[in-house]
Amino acid sequence: MSLRLPQTIVKVILSKWRKFVTTVNLPRRGRSVSLFKKQHPGVYRPPSPNANLEALQKKLGELDLDEQQRKRLEAFLTQKAQVGELKDDDFHPICELGAGNGGVVNKVRHKPSRLVMARKLIHLEIKPAIRNQIIRELQVLHECNSPYIVGFYGAFYSDGEISICMEHMDGGSLDQVLKEARRIPEEILGKVSIAVLRGLAYLREKHQIMHRDVKPSNILVNSRGEIKLCDFGVSGQLIDSMANSFVGTRSYMSPERLQGTHYSVQSDVWSMGLSLVELAIGRYPIPPPDSKELEAIFGRPVQDGAEGEPHTISNRLPRPPGGRPVSGHGVDSRPAMAIFELLDYIVNEPPPRLPLGVFTNDFQEFVTKCLIKNPAERADLKMLMNHTFIKRAEVEEVDFAGWLCKTMGLNQPSTPTRGTE
């Protein structure tokens, strides 16, 4: 296979196998440093908790929220105002929630407030100047308050690690849900699509930022039926400093990002579309499943979505890297695809499609518009929010919380939400 990827991408991939070495100047062991109270010129220093709460409550009035969403956000902000400065000694570990994207996420209890949180630990060997820039950039997380964005309690630096403390979502991420569900029904994915689009629109319109890393593991859910985005790219310096995690996360990137060209929020749209196909068929869709695998997944003969014709190259292409099963219905017998081959496929081969005769035409068309390779022709957020698939999903009665709790074995609260209604 001919590889036609830019040198910038090749260099970052190769860094996966090189030890990242730099000068490190850490605080003395055991000392925690608040990311928002550093005595450094130009570093963000938050106002008092009460002033912060009042300002944020005022901003909530500018958002299109229903009464339940407003009450939950206000309750979260009230809890957050009582947390105070975060320190390493204030946390009691409960269990590990997951690992990846350059860090590990633990479920913890904040002892002073007794709040259960998700604490992400990111180990970075970086110079103090870079660390301070990350500190300045992360402060915008305090201002990201939306029903479709995971809540942020704060962050601190201790023993060479940045800790980012977030709202705990008891349903986990959609990649974890997929392992239990094997495939996620279209009506559930309708609610997921609404939440992701609204979350992306909020980040863009209110904060002028892109997510940059939309994928199933960064879409979190809870037993109240809420669907929220996490791990969005507020800190460009943090993204650069975590370049060693490139290989594990770039398979959801758009062709224009992999080619090193200019990209916009349209790149997030591609990532969302790719994620929806994965959740719908039960496995990462590149390279596409052949007819035998599709029959195993859906229990009957199924045509792929490439204009009714089987993919002529799918039988010879190896499977994605990592030796992972391609779905909950069987294991692909093709040899593992090298990361170079995977990225080359995304850039140079046709985009994935949903198989025919399994999903509604509206859903198929919605996904197809997300996965147009030319970003200038790809649907934007506004177009997608007005798509028939989304309009139907907005009015459709779907017990998302009930489905999730049954799938994940969770206790359902007495007053769950219904998806994103």
Q: Which residues belong to the annotated binding site for ATP? A: 120
- Residues 280/327, Cβ–Cβ less than 8 Å: no
Residue of 213, 304, 332, 344 marked active site: 213
CA 288 to chain centre: 22
Q: Which amino acid is at 352?
A: P
Using the Cα atoms of residue 127, residue 133, residue 137 and residue 138 in order, give the sign of their dihedral. Answer: positive
Question: How far lies 83's CA from each of 102, 199, 418, in Å?
Answer: 26, 25, 29
Alpha-carbon distance of 65 to 335, in angstroms, equals: 49
Q: Is the peptide bond before 320 cis (omega within 30 degrees of 0)?
A: no
Binding-site residues: 120
213 as an active site residue: the answer is yes
Alpha-carbon distance of 356 to 369, in angstroms, equals: 16
Order of strands, edge to edge, in the sheet holding 172-173? 172-173, 219-221, 227-229
- Residues 270/250, Cβ–Cβ less than 8 Å: no
Alpha-carbon distance of 394 to 222, in angstroms, equals: 19
Residues noted as catalytic: 213
